[in-house]
Amino acid sequence: MRILVVGAGAIGGYFGGRLLQAGRDVTFLVRPKRASELASAGLVIKSPNGDVTLTSPPTVQADKLDKTFDLVLLSCKAFDLEDAIKSFAPAVGPTTAILPLLNGMKHLDVLEQHFGANAVLGGQCAIAVTLNAQREIVQLTPMQSLGFGERDGKMSDRVRSIADVMAAGKFGAAASTQVIQDMWEKWVFLASLAASTSTMRAAVGPILAAPGGRDFILGILDECSAVATAEGHAPAGPFSERAKGMLTAEGSQLTASMFRDIKAGAKVEADHVIGDLIARGDAAKVPVPRLKIAYTHLKAYENGRG
């Protein structure tokens, strides 16, 4: 199976790198600067699950992309989605499967408009990774998983084939017959964590220790869960218990990548992660006052960046 990984940043570089390490046929679609970095230093992964340096990983740039692939692994930020689509479009043939690992749900509609419903799988991952100053991929905790499947819930031959290939990466890949539900549950947790830690500019533990902190976090979780329920994807009991446990763990240093992006002065996915939830809540007449405060905070931050 020929796999094109769009980008070689933290997420794409990690999962693509693990597949390349396992001997799979992986090519990274990258910009010139990243291509130069990979050619000189290799793709470096530092991880509690094992370090690796992959010398001269296969790369291609958008203007040289002239053949199709069996699988496109897409892990860009939501605000880069349109540019990413333009770059990898030549790689999409009649039987190509696109596996997006973006946050939220809005990107599914965008990809479907460009490539048709059949080309687009559902997908989500759980991993804490970042690029350090040396442009190495650093995994912050041992946790790692990648779920994917047909959006209609069927277990297709192509999903089975992808599962066989992904298993070699040893990063907890699993095919799912309820991938849209999985994506909604991840969105509920991610949005709750992002809205809380970004608005309060602190990790979960310090927020809980502040007056009203616990109520704020759990109020955000309740609002996100109510929107998911209105959309027909009520979070399941086991998920709700896990999410509540992680968001109320005293002393926890857990933060969202969105908060870390704010600290770095980087762009954030305010519209895709929080704004889209608010829009869906308003359409379903679900009150989301805390989410709206968080969204105002994030848009003010974006405006301050210029």
**For 282-286, which contacts have Cβ atoms below 8 Å and span 24 or more sequence positions?**
284/227, 284/230, 284/231, 286/223, 286/226, 286/227, 286/230
What is the number of alpha carbons within 13 Å of residue 75 lying toward its C-beta?
Answer: 23
pLDDT band at 127 (very low <50, low <70, confident <90, very high): very high
pLDDT for 79 equals: 94
pLDDT exceeds 90 at position 93 = yes
Taking the model in full, what pTM does it have?
A: 0.94
Average pLDDT over residues 50-55: 97
Backbone angles phi, psi at 119, to 5 degrees: -75, -20
Q: What structural domains does the chain harbor?
A: 2-177 (3.40.50.720), 182-305 (1.10.1040.10)
Annotation marks residue 186 as catalytic: yes
Say how far residue 248 (Cα) sits from the centre of its chain.
23
Interior angle at CA 11, CA 159 and CA 298, nearest 5: 115
Active-site position among 186, 244, 263, 299:
186
